[in-house]
Structure 1
Amino acid sequence: MSVFFHSSGSDINIEVELRHLSAVVLSFGLLCVLQGILNISLRLALNEPTDGGETEEESCPQGWMMFGSSCYYISSQRRSWDDSRQDCVQRDADLVIIDSREEQAFLTGFTMATWVGMTDREEEGTWVWVDGTPVNKDGLQWALGQPDSAFGGEDCGDLRTMIDFIGLNDFNCSARNQWICEKTLWPLTSWCFPRV
């Protein structure tokens, strides 16, 4: 079906534009599916045991996932940022500190919104991790337009995975989100640093 509008003596064919829009939407949907498949494949590959064997000391607790030399716990409940951090501390961990885009990619997609261990409570606009190190704003992916300190009180960080809003985000600390705890394995796993 063709739709034509008459404007200033010229016809505009909307059908062509709708076809282009449909192709863009379909392509975006396929990219989302591909990203999901790649994330799952990466998680499965990184959770396989090494050929050298791991000692009990080097494996993550049950219900935790491994990436690099860290174990991650993804909550199924929703709590404030402070309550989420307290839960991590009770698990001998803390809210996750994201050190690289690779780690961020690994953590992206578990939930739509999940607390991470960054805040700018001390000084507005100066984001730091729970261990006091500054957040590398240029080295990580932020959601479009973030951080924006909307509504005058978004001092805690979360990781968003929505169709048009993916990356780090500032959010109200009292809001209820899921969260990610992180603990480091000691000694470091053999697949990060091969045994000699």
Structure 2
Amino acid sequence: MAVFFRSREPDGGFEVAEYRQISRSDPEAAAATRRSRQAEIKHLQVVLLSFGLLCVLQASLNIALRLSPATQPGSQPGTQPGTEEGTQDETQEEHSCPQGWIPSSSSCYYVSSQRASWDGARQACRARGGDLVIINSQQEQDFLSGLVVAAWVGMTDRGTEGVWMWVDGTPVDKERLRWAPGQPDDASGGEDCGDLRVMRSFMGLNDFDCGFPAPWICEKNIKPV
């Protein structure tokens, strides 16, 4: 930028003085600006690096949680597969009854919805891998009484009249089991097979005609698969 100063002298002459103002940046201010920008860039880099490290740490934690074994409800912390509790679960699964059979104690029971003679019922039980049920205790009789109204069981006196035997060859314990009132009575001289009756006034074991079609109860032992 040029600035002109003019002065008039008494003699009418004048002088011209020209000054040039050159705009120059202050070196120190420029250096300070650069340092400030560099500081801001470094600060931004530190923030981005910290954020990236947090993301990596979170991802690692998620992976570790997914890979760690979950604690089963009711199990003790630190229980691993193959320990005693795991073995018990596997044993229970291996000793389960077939589909359609009812588990109780050490036996599986099958209650038919069809009807057959005593011999036909036994044949059907054998085809399923069992036999007509053998009742060994009053507790077992009570359990079976909750499953049927009338059904064949595995006892007969065909060998000797009045001597009741189970299908496995063991004698029926008349003292331990409950017979229906007045039974066995061999009515009409031809009741050689046993059934279980659950009626209001007639409840317990009963002798009946072997050829009569009736439901039946099969039994087989629970064995490891």
Match of 1:148 among 185, 194, 219: 185
Match of 1:75 among 112, 121, 145: 112
What is the Cα deviation at residue 112 of structure 1? 1.7
Q: Percent identity?
A: 62
Are 1:105 and 2:142 an aligned pair?
Answer: yes
Match in the other structure for 1:12: none
How far apart, in 2, do the equivalents of 1:55 and 1:166 lie?
A: 34
How far apart, in 2, do the equivalents of 1:68 and 1:74 lie?
A: 16
Q: Which amino acid aligns with 2:104?
A: F
What is the Cα deviation at residue 141 of structure 1? 0.5
- Runs of 5+ consecutive residues of structure 2 not aligned to the other structure: 1-86
How far apart, in 2, do the equivalents of 1:74 and 1:92 lie?
A: 14
Q: How does 1:1-196 map to 2 (within 5 A)?
A: 52-53=88-89, 54-187=91-224
How far apart, in 2, do the equivalents of 1:118 and 1:127 lie?
A: 6
How far apart, in 2, do the equivalents of 1:156 and 1:143 lie?
A: 14
Counterpart secondary structure, 1:178: coil
How far apart, in 2, do the equivalents of 1:152 and 1:121 lie?
A: 12
Counterpart secondary structure, 1:134: coil
Greater RCO (CA < 8 Å, at least 6 residues apart)? 1
Aligned CA distance change for structure 1 residues 55 and 112 (closer, same or farther; 3 Å): closer
What is the Cα deviation at residue 56 of structure 1? 3.6
Q: Which amino acid aligns with 1:124?
A: E
Equivalenced residues, count: 138
Q: Which amino acid aligns with 2:99?
A: Q
| Structure 1 segments (4+ residues) deviating >4 Å | none
- Runs of 5+ consecutive residues of structure 1 not aligned to the other structure: 1-50, 188-196
How far apart, in 2, do the equivalents of 1:72 and 1:95 lie?
A: 9
How far apart, in 1, do the equivalents of 2:146 and 2:107 lie?
A: 18
Residues 85-116 of structure 1: CA deviation (Å, up to 9, x unaligned): 00000000000000000000000032221000
Max radius of gyration: which structure? 2
So what's the TM-score if we normalise by structure 2? 0.59
RMSD over aligned Cα, in angstroms?
A: 1.6
So what's the TM-score if we normalise by structure 1? 0.68
Counterpart secondary structure, 1:138: coil
How far apart, in 1, do the equivalents of 2:93 and 2:128 lie?
A: 18
What is the Cα deviation at residue 55 of structure 1? 4.0
Counterpart secondary structure, 1:77: coil
How far apart, in 2, do the equivalents of 1:67 and 1:118 lie?
A: 20
